[in-house]
A and B are shown apart, each in its own frame.
Chain A
Amino acid sequence: MATVRVQAGPFDVGAETAALTAGRTDIGGIGCFLGTVRAGSGERRVAAMHLEHYPGMTERAMQRIAAEAERRWELLGCTLIHRTGPLAPGEPIVLVLAAAAHRQPALAATEFLIDWLKTRAPFWKKEIFDDGTEAWVEAHDADDTAAARWRERD
Chain B
Amino acid sequence: MNQAEIRKLIPAVRVAINAKHRKFSNPKGPEGRLTMLRKTVTELVKLERVELNYQRGDEARGYAERLIAMAIKHGDRHIPTMEMANYWLTEKQLVHKLFKVLAVRYKDHTESYTKLHKAPNIYPGFYRERVVLELKGNPFPPLEKKNSSHNWIHNILLEEAHQDYIRKKLKEGERSN
Are A and B bound to each other?
no
Residues in B lying within 8 Å of A, measured CB to CB: none
A residues lining the B interface (CB < 8 Å) = none
